[in-house]
Amino acid sequence: MKSAATMKPCEKEPQVVAEAIAGDVSESLLLHVNTCPACTETVTTVKKLRLLTEECFTAPLPSATSVWWKAALQKQQAAGRRTRAPLIYMQWIGYAVALLSTIAIAVRASPIALSLPPLLWVGLAIAGMTFLWFICTLYAWSQLDS
């Protein structure tokens, strides 16, 4: 084939383009297309362009409903993550308080602690059980939907 720079334009090319786009080239033009390099290239280009346009739409597009549901689900999941963030922070604060309480009880459990009034021990036990319940609740909440 000759390059486009040396190819001479053909007077029948507009008619060949119109019929090639319509999809049916007449017999007389087919004979001309077989002998004219410019028209042959034109018909080949139209066929390739038609194939390209058909390829673009072979994969079905997702329905608007499924796109909407996915967007709504992502929005809901993001809101859930934002909602759980304070619970997770409180969980770690609870762990820190429990650790500090354990250390304080261990320090106070020395022989000096035996001289403490029993009411103080009851108060420490209640506080420890409350923090334990609080930590367990936060842990359970943090595990929801994860």
- Annotated domain spans of the chain: 13-56, 80-143
| Cα distance between residue 121 and residue 115, in whole Å | 11
**Residue 114: per-residue pLDDT:** 63
Comparing CA positions, the residue from 62, 86, 5 lying closest to residue 38 is 5
**Residue 68: per-residue pLDDT:** 94
The residues, ordered by sequence, that sit 6+ positions from 39 with a Cβ below 8 Å of its Cβ are 10, 12, 13, 16, 29, 32, 33
**Residue 70: per-residue pLDDT:** 94
Within a 10 A sphere around the Cβ of 132, how many other Cβ atoms?
13
**Residue 84: per-residue pLDDT:** 82
Low pLDDT (below 50) residues in the chain: none
Q: Which two tokens stand for residue 78?
A: 């993001």
Within a 10 A sphere around the Cβ of 54, how many other Cβ atoms?
9
The residues, ordered by sequence, that sit 6+ positions from 92 with a Cβ below 8 Å of its Cβ are none
